[in-house]
Amino acid sequence: MRSTVQPSLAVGLAVALGLSSCAPVPDGADAALEDAVPAQPAMPPVYETVRLPSAIAHVMTIPDPVRYPVQVAVVNDLARVDQIVSQVCEGEGCAAAAINAGFFDPNNGLTTSYVMQDGALVADPNQNDRLIGNPDLTSYMDRILNRSEFRRYDCGGTPSYDITFHQEPVPAGCALVDAVGAGPQLLPQDTSVEEGFIDRTVARDALGSQSPNARSAVGLKADGSVVLVMVAEVPGVSPSGMTMAEVAGLMGDRGVTQALNLDGGSSSTLMYDGTTHYGRLNSAGDLVQRPVKSILWVANPDWGVE
């Protein structure tokens, strides 16, 4: 299922007035429609904090991902989310929000997820020998290299978003602009087994899905909204955070129909309006600021670079 933007108000009004696309349009009708349909105001991202006894969920809803597109950024060397955002601001325009995204190997700084940026493959897990050459992962490699990803398409000039497996073809009439792999999918169902995260025959649970933890996720609603979620641990509470099922429930309660788990734990970070929220606490109860490989960032059209 692909989440797309809503039809224009002008189209809807034309139908309501009986102006079929097959019927001749009276002279001046276009102007009348333009006068009758005011320009739709921008709907900026909406930030919400959900405080629970053992978790703090930072929820960012982007109701207008056309005006506020959700894009991908990746760095060659690991960097904190706010540092990557600073680079984005220098090169392309500032960000209204950002969240950590794909998996990576902290030992060598190389990706374990596919990442596409502006139509080009900029991070390839096949180039990570510690992943590809790991004998413990050989039986799972086909599934690892087909894990789910968040995608942004250009469909005839209209942005469209999807969450799907890496090898899923691009819809006809669309071009793949950005993509970042992670996984598993949380909604409409959990795909941990299909993606090699869970193997019940050997009690394998690579992400500790059933244990509370700091977590990050991205979701899509039926109305086209994009939702970013970062779950943080609570100081002085142990265990703290959420299981993956709990994250899925939180997102489902907010109308999300498709959801993708992103890198979590110490990587979990969400930045909004100049404030950075971190997910993981160390043994002393201090927030952990861990460098990451890639982010999803929300462009703010009102914050251009002079």
- Judged on CB neighbours under 10 Å (0-12, 13-18, 19+), 52 is middle
Distance CA 111, CA 131 (A): 9
Q: Which of 25-34, 78-87, 200-209 has the lowest mean pLDDT?
A: 25-34
- Average pLDDT over the chain, rounded to an integer: 87
Give the tokens for residue 62. 């982007």
pLDDT tens sequence across 216-274: 999 999 999 999 999 999 999 999 999 999 999 999 999 999 999 999 999 999 999 88
- Tens-place pLDDT, residues 181-223: 999 999 999 999 999 999 999 999 999 999 999 999 999 999 9
pLDDT higher than 70, residue 3: no
Q: Pick the closest to residue 293 from 126, 138, 110 (CA basis).
A: 110
CA distance 296 to 271: 10
Domain spans of the chain? 1-40, 42-299
pTM (2 decimals)?
0.85
pLDDT band at 40 (very low <50, low <70, confident <90, very high): low
Q: What 8-state DSSP symbol labels residue 125?
A: G
